[in-house]
Amino acid sequence: MQTQVVVFLVMAITFVVVLLLIRNRRGIGIALVTDSLGNEVIVTKAAIRQEQMLFLIDTAYAGAPVLSTSYLSHVEGMRRTRTTKYARDLQATYRSIVESQAPNPTPNVDMNDSPLGVATSARALASFIRRTGCRTYTSGCTMRLMGIGHTTEAQTDLLLCSDVAFGIGGGPLRTSSSEVFVTHPLPSSVHILTMDFLMHRSPCVLMPARGRAMWTVDDTRLHSSFVFLTPTFVGGAVRVPMVVGGTQLNIVIDTGAAAALSLASGTHVASCRTPSLQLRATQTGVNGEKVCSDAFFANVQIGTLDMGEVQVFSNSHAVEGADGYAGMGLLRALDMWLAPNEVGFRYSGLSTRTSGALTEGRCENSALPHCAVSDATPNESGGGGTDANRAENMYSLFL
């Protein structure tokens, strides 16, 4: 009898180990980190020829993965002062990187265009190429960058890098023998994994609560746990319908944005609430543009998923091709299934978040919807459905 029990336990342990190995082959580790203002993003570690670095996963950024020349300049500065070792804690590492890069003090002006900035970036890029063995193309490309305030075009270098791996914990996952990257100055940012990068590995599943991303998923049980919507691609970003304050809107999914939900100027909803003390925030786009946003609250529904009352920003600018964009304040409460022909969501187990970077007052040229005024405390922990709803989606044998 005891022998049978021992055999059973050995078989059970073997099954669990094999299952974990399957998981490690199919996915990579990701993490939620914040800057000093509490702006949350999804990052993963990466290595090119064993040189470690951080990448931000941005579902609203199109094109090849981006190597930030601002980040490379930061790394080069650390190398020159022989302080290349980052803190062991990923949160501390991310914060030290983004806060050490000087922010752009002039809206709509690229400080990297200055002679000093260009020279510094060029030296940093040349040093990176020597260390990693990446190969440059004789001709670069023109990238069209759709920001939250306006769209710009920028000239970028193209690099072909080999021995590329991604992942946090359990060992990185080698993605391919080679990977194409573009370069671009991204002040106060790490490198970026783009929507195209994810689509080339689709179906891709992002699970922020579990700290995991899965690529080329083929799992019918996992698929059946998501609520699916038909996507539309706008400038390389995915747009889906959402009901905000009783009004159906077309919203871009943007894991590179921190605010829960931002609506374009002139977008109105049927039902919403504003506190008696009006608050506003200033958002900075990928092109360096500054956008003023008035804050209010509205109930949000994505398909059959009730996200509860969510903090919404009414922007002072239009959003190209959409009524607005959803950021990590909302998306952290969701697991996301991303594929060219379908986009799915389910509760992640995390709650939605409100922004802490607010000041008193209203924006100039405010387009704030007419909302009921109330000092009721927003249901911050209620976002992402009820506890029972969230718990229901916290299991899957193959996750």
Residues 252, 165 share a domain: no
Q: Which residue among 192, 214, 236 closes a domain?
A: 214
Q: Which residue among 168, 195, 214 closes a domain?
A: 214
* Residue 8 belongs to a domain: no
Residues 191, 77 share a domain: yes
* Residue 9 belongs to a domain: no
* Residue 19 belongs to a domain: no
How far is C-alpha 166 from the chain's CA centre? 16
Residues 316, 200 share a domain: no
Q: What is the span of the domain harbouring residue 195?
A: 29-214
Residues 228, 205 share a domain: no
Provide the pLDDT for residue 115: 43
CA distances from 150 to 196, 209, 239, 306, 328 (A): 21, 32, 18, 31, 21
Residues 50, 184 share a domain: yes
Tell me the longest C-alpha to C-alpha distance in the chain.
79
Residues 287, 207 share a domain: no
* Residue 363 belongs to a domain: yes
Tokens matching residue 328: 């990590």
* Residue 273 belongs to a domain: yes
Provide the pLDDT for residue 184: 87
* Residue 200 belongs to a domain: yes
Nearest Cα residue to 166 out of 44, 83, 253, 267: 44
Residues 131, 48 share a domain: yes
Report how far residue 252's alpha carbon sits from residue 269's, in angstroms, rounded to the nearest whole number.
17
* Residue 40 belongs to a domain: yes
8 A C-beta contact, residue 286 and residue 110? no
Helix axes 90-100, 69-80, angle to 10 degrees: 100
Q: Which residue among 214, 232, 266 closes a domain?
A: 214
pTM of the model: 0.82
Tokens matching residue 213: 């991303």
* Residue 246 belongs to a domain: yes
8 A C-beta contact, residue 346 and residue 227? yes
Residues 230, 204 share a domain: no
Residues 233, 161 share a domain: no
Residues 341, 373 share a domain: yes
Residues 152, 245 share a domain: no
42: domain CATH number is 2.40.70.10
Residues 326, 264 share a domain: yes
Q: Structurally, how many domains does the chain consist of?
A: 2
pLDDT in tens, the chain (399 residues): 556 655 556 565 555 444 443 444 457 899 999 988 888 999 999 999 888 899 999 999 888 999 999 899 888 877 766 555 555 688 988 988 888 775 544 444 444 444 445 677 889 999 999 999 999 987 766 666 555 544 556 678 899 999 898 886 655 455 666 899 999 888 878 999 999 999 999 999 999 999 999 989 999 999 999 999 999 998 888 999 999 999 999 999 999 998 999 998 888 899 999 888 888 887 776 556 677 888 999 999 999 999 999 999 988 777 888 999 999 999 999 999 999 999 999 999 999 999 888 888 888 777 677 776 666 655 444 455 544 344 344 333 333
